[in-house]
Chains A and B, each alone.
Chain A
Amino acid sequence: MKVITANRLLNGDVVWLGENGSWVERITLARTFDGKDQVAEGLAIGQEAEKNQEVVSVYEMDVTLEDGVIVPVRLRERIRAAGPTTHPQFGKQAQAVSA
């Protein structure tokens, strides 16, 4: 299972492709893709968004479901989805607490 991720062009924020071509700030809200064709479709949406100056550096990444919640497979992507492990007060993990 995969999701499509990128960074917002304007501020560099980490985002994932959500429903209806939107870019969401939480990986739990990302749209998941199964199989080559679906992933290709997701990447095509991403590349279009790149052309429209919404996002940069679009790529697909592996995820799994843990208790129905989307979780990145690789540590790199887990850190990217949360923020620096050395700075719990920064990044998405901080927003999650304050939200």
Chain B
Amino acid sequence: MYRYDEFDASFVNQRTEQFKDQVRRRLAGELSEDEFKPLRLMNGLYLQLHAYMLRVAIPYGTLNGRQMRKLAHIARTYDKGYGHFTTRQNIQFNWPKLEDTPKILEELAEVEMHAIQTSGNCIRNVTADHFAGAAADEIADPRPYAEILRQWSSLHPEFSFLPRKFKIAITGAPNDRAAVQVHDIGLQLTRNDEGEIGFVVYVGGGLGRTPMIGRKVRDYLPEEDLLAYSEAILRVYNRYGRRDNKYKARIKILVHETGLEELKADIEEEFEKIRFGVLRLPDEEVRRIEAYFAPPPLEVGPSASEAVESRRNADAAFAQFLAHNLNPHRVPGYTSVTLSMKPIGGIPGDASDAQMEVIADLAEQYGHDEIRISHEQNVILPHVKLDDVPAIYDRLSAAEIAEGNAGLITDIIACPGMDYCALATARSIPVAQRISERFGTAERQAEIGELKIKISGCINACGHHHVGHIGILGLEKKGEEFYQVTLGGSANENASIGEIVGRGFSSEEVIDAIEKLVDTYLGLRSGKEETFLDAYRRVGEAPFKEALYGAA
């Protein structure tokens, strides 16, 4: 794992000291709220419906047991005993007191954590495939590049006051699990004919009120040009991005309004000016960073485990877990295990302090001390010996995070919605809970197969509803919650934006509507192998529309 060098340690400590002083000045009346608000936001501190909310960065979703224990400690000591994993692989605490936040940041700094780049109009925490460094289908581990981008972007003076926030995601595998095409910059690792590593580069993807799939601006960007090219994109955006209208300020609007060819030319022109300058990545520096992410020593073992197989036949819940929550590892005898933070009827992404401690224990005991947070709000132990899966499963069961539902209909992404968020127009979590309860039996989930439901409680789309196979957007209509349904979205390598299927539904109606959609799919699929998304893409919206609203 990446360890802070002296620069990281000193700037995180400096930032903590600065914030401590800013809070002191705020409480002393030396800073007004208008002056203080941008400062607290730069340190991840929001004011939500019931309380302040602190968002802590987990760069590219990677952390170790010690860090997870610290998060548990913070949840227990300064909050109400739980935290919430977000769609940017971060964690939020929902109830911290302003007066406690300097102390919390100090505690985080002790374990090389902070809340920088979790808010504000800067380059946000870079996200990556949660199976990075472990997945069998991977070209290379994307995290060294994510870390290089982090070092370049952290407190970047030129890019601290962008027109709007800026999000970068990177994947090292052809199967995109990091949703790179719906990010401001999306990077997909690739190799050229000579076998050298480079990046496919997408620009201008994003969700929110104007969802767009990123446009490809480079088929192959050499490794050494990663920072110079990123800087060129940011410079063009910083210069031409709209500042007159907050809702038109993201780079996707610039791409849309300027046109891809002109913008590409602007980026290339800027790139030519700086590509041989200080941002050119020296090979030895990339290799130095890469060494931090060196895989743990893993002994090749048999690709099937007797302990696992014998229990598979005797234990249906365990079999369900095996079928859905293990991802193929590049080393035979190993697997990556998804810990479901989506218990049936539970709150997507919430973890109690006790659950966090269990996760830390398991990572230390069985997982080479590595933990990942996925943008789908689950937790992953990336390097686990197959033989250890039964023991891990038992511990997860006791902690109620062993549901075998990864990728299934109850593995729902949901934003905090109006239960917490000051921006929300409707609740998200209760809808997720009711869907989870409706479809929650093991048999029914398995029968339906892969189906990604994503729920946002407002148009800002933190719950990624646009890229849900079924997306649900909560709005307010005449003082009542009201849910709009989209179909056919996807955030993988074949990304698409879902389409609104028709008029929306009341809170009472929406779960039945989802069930009609699911039943319609089950009735028309060509076979069990045809997923909901595949079926939708084959037949289009008509049968689903008819099921919801009757024949036209």
Genuine A/B complex:
yes
CB within 8 Å of B: which residues of A? Answer: 7, 9-14, 50-53, 56-57, 73-76, 79-80, 83-87, 90-91
- Selected from B28, B52, B419, B433, the residue in CB contact (under 8 A) with A12 is B52
Report the separation of the CA atoms of residues A2 and B396 in the bound assembly, to the nearest whole angstrom. 49
Stretch at the interface among B94-102, B133-141, B329-337, B442-450: B94-102
Interface residues on B, range: 20 to 34
The answer to whether A10 and B99 touch across the interface, beta carbons within 8 angstroms, is yes
User: B214-246 interface mask toward A, CB cutoff 8 Å, 1 = contact, 0 = none?
Assistant: 000000000000000000000000000000000
| Nearest 10 interchain pairs by C-beta | A12-B51, A84-B419, A12-B52, A11-B97, A86-B429, A56-B33, A80-B49, A53-B29, A86-B419, A10-B99
The answer to whether A11 and B418 touch across the interface, beta carbons within 8 angstroms, is no
Report the separation of the CA atoms of residues A79 and B52 in the bound assembly, to the nearest whole angstrom. 16
Which residues of chain B are near A12, meaning CB under 8 Å? 47-48, 50-52, 95-98
Which residues of chain B are near A13, meaning CB under 8 Å? 50-51
Report the separation of the CA atoms of residues A85 and B416 in the bound assembly, to the nearest whole angstrom. 11
B257-295 interface (Cβ within 8 A of A):
none
Q: Taking the nearest CB of chain A, how far is it from the CB of B551, in angstroms?
A: 34
Residue of A nearest to B80 (CB): A90
The answer to whether A91 and B50 touch across the interface, beta carbons within 8 angstroms, is yes
User: B77-103 interface mask toward A, CB cutoff 8 Å, 1 = contact, 0 = none?
Assistant: 000100000000000000111110000
The answer to whether A85 and B479 touch across the interface, beta carbons within 8 angstroms, is no
Report the separation of the CA atoms of residues A53 and B424 in the bound assembly, to the nearest whole angstrom. 27
Report the separation of the CA atoms of residues A79 and B428 in the bound assembly, to the nearest whole angstrom. 13
9 contacts between A and B (CB under 8 A): A10-B27, A11-B99, A57-B47, A79-B427, A80-B49, A80-B50, A84-B420, A86-B427, A86-B429
The answer to whether A53 and B80 touch across the interface, beta carbons within 8 angstroms, is no
Residue of B nearest to A50 (CB): B33
Which residues of chain A are near B128, meaning CB under 8 Å? none
The answer to whether A11 and B420 touch across the interface, beta carbons within 8 angstroms, is no
Is the CB of B182 closer than 8 A to any CB of chain A?
A: no
Which residues of chain A are near B20, meaning CB under 8 Å? none
Which residues of chain A are near B49, meaning CB under 8 Å? 14, 76, 79-80
The answer to whether B419 and A87 touch across the interface, beta carbons within 8 angstroms, is yes
Given contacts A10-B27, A53-B29, contact A86 B430 (CB under 8 A): yes
The answer to whether B95 and A90 touch across the interface, beta carbons within 8 angstroms, is yes
Which residues of chain B are near A76, meaning CB under 8 Å? 49, 418, 424
Given contacts A56-B33, A74-B479, A79-B419, contact A14 B50 (CB under 8 A): yes
Q: Taking the nearest CB of chain A, how far is it from the CB of B43, in angstroms?
A: 15
Q: Taking the nearest CB of chain B, how far is it from the CB of A91, in angstroms?
A: 5
Q: Taking the nearest CB of chain B, how far is it from the CB of A92, in angstroms?
A: 8
Report the separation of the CA atoms of residues A83 and B430 in the bound assembly, to the nearest whole angstrom. 14
Which residues of chain A are near B418, meaning CB under 8 Å? 75-76, 79
Which residues of chain B are near A80, meaning CB under 8 Å? 49-50
Report the separation of the CA atoms of residues A87 and B26 in the bound assembly, to the nearest whole angstrom. 31
Which residues of chain A are near B347, meaning CB under 8 Å? 86
Known contacts A12-B97, A53-B29, A76-B49; 16 additional CB pairs below 8 A are: A7-B47, A7-B51, A9-B98, A11-B97, A11-B98, A12-B47, A12-B48, A12-B52, A51-B32, A76-B418, A79-B427, A80-B49, A83-B50, A84-B429, A85-B430, A86-B429
